[in-house]
Amino acid sequence: MDIYQHFRKDEKPFIDQVLSWKEQVERTYIKKQTDFLDPREQQIISMIIGSNEADVKFDVFGGFSNAERRRVILSPYYEEVDENDFGLTMLEAAYPEKFLTLTHRDILGACLSLGIKRNKLGDIMVADGKIQIILAREIAVYVTANLTAINKAAINLKEKPLSSIIEKKMDWTERDHTIASLRLDVVLKETYHLSRKKALELIERQFVKVNYKVVEEAKFLLQEGDMLSVRGKGRSKLTAVNGKTKKDKLKITMAVLK
């Protein structure tokens, strides 16, 4: 059976990478730790390795229960894996929220400006006058020493235990819709109550991501399980395709993150 038939063409390089990791673990009996992966990449690993794999298993951890970006460890089925094996560190700093507004985008941009690769960074939290960054342990000292200001605000990052992470609240609301097709512009229009012109504009301006990647084609066809992110509008996901109506339209369920 062709494994690639279950995935989109642009996911082939990552699938090949996962298969290479799996083969490496099978051959050497040494566990393989990945960098931080987004939820879609984690899902692909789950689909490839599966729960019934005889020789290789996988574990995931991102610092807390609702983490989106997580590291994965592939290991022989008998290998014990604990949280410390994932090599995570959490850095925290306070900022004067009465006089300054910092966003996830600001903090991520400041980190990337230091030459840090995105796959070395986990989730970023901003709340109650604090910023928290989960990152790979191997770059923690560098980030602490060099990330001393964000948007001209001085910060002093310090390592804190993972148990003090500000947990994200994930409040999803599901709604049923009837649409003509699974085209990206059609789903955007219905989900976010937009005009067709506005939906097209968001796509053309590269403000729309599907499974954490920018999509610039309005005719891009969505699949069940796809995650959408729209700048200024928030996130949503296509949780189910529920068949067709008598007029041959599609019935879908969309979940929107409040």
C-alpha span between 60 and 97 (Å, rounded): 33
Domain made up of 12-85: CATH architecture: 2-Layer Sandwich (3.30)
Nearest to 22 by CA among 58, 62, 70: 58
User: What tokens were used for 176?
Assistant: 């049923």
Is the torsion defined by CA of 136, 140, 146, 152 positive or negative? positive
Q: Is CATH 3.30.9.10 correct for 88-164?
A: no
**What does the pLDDT look like over 112-141, one tens digit per residue?**
999 999 999 999 999 889 999 999 999 999
User: What tokens were used for 193?
Assistant: 């109550």
**What does the pLDDT look like over 151-202, one tens digit per residue?**
888 999 999 999 999 887 778 999 999 999 999 999 999 999 999 999 999 9
pLDDT band at 52 (very low <50, low <70, confident <90, very high): low
pLDDT value of residue 258: 80
CA distances from 133 to 35, 91, 92, 123, 128 (A): 15, 5, 7, 6, 14
CA contacts within 13 A on the Cβ side of 6: 11
Residue 53: pLDDT over 70: no
Q: What is the mean pLDDT of the chain?
A: 93
User: What tokens were used for 55?
Assistant: 């020789």
CA distances from 180 to 5, 8, 59, 225, 230 (A): 25, 22, 40, 18, 21
User: How do beta strands 149-150 and 158-160 pair?
Assistant: unpaired
Domain 172-257: give its CATH superfamily. RNA-binding S4 domain (3.10.290.10)
Q: Using only C-alpha atoms, what is the Rg of the chain?
A: 20
Between 1-5, 17-21, 118-122, the lowest mean confidence (pLDDT) is in: 1-5
Rounded percentage of the chain residues whose pLDDT exceeds 90:
83
pLDDT band at 44 (very low <50, low <70, confident <90, very high): very high
Mean pLDDT for the stretch of residues 5-33:
93
**pTM of the shown model:** 0.85
pLDDT value of residue 218: 96
Residue 243: pLDDT over 90: yes
pLDDT value of residue 37: 98
Strand locations in the chain (E): 32-37, 56-61, 70-76, 88-94, 121-127, 130-136, 149-150, 153-154, 158-160, 172-179, 208-210, 213-214, 227-230, 234-244, 250-257
Q: What are the extents of the domains in the chain? A: 12-85, 88-164, 172-257
C-alpha span between 235 and 233 (Å, rounded): 7
Rounded percentage of the chain residues whose pLDDT exceeds 70:
98
According to DSSP, the residues that pair with 90 across neighbouring strands are: 134, 160
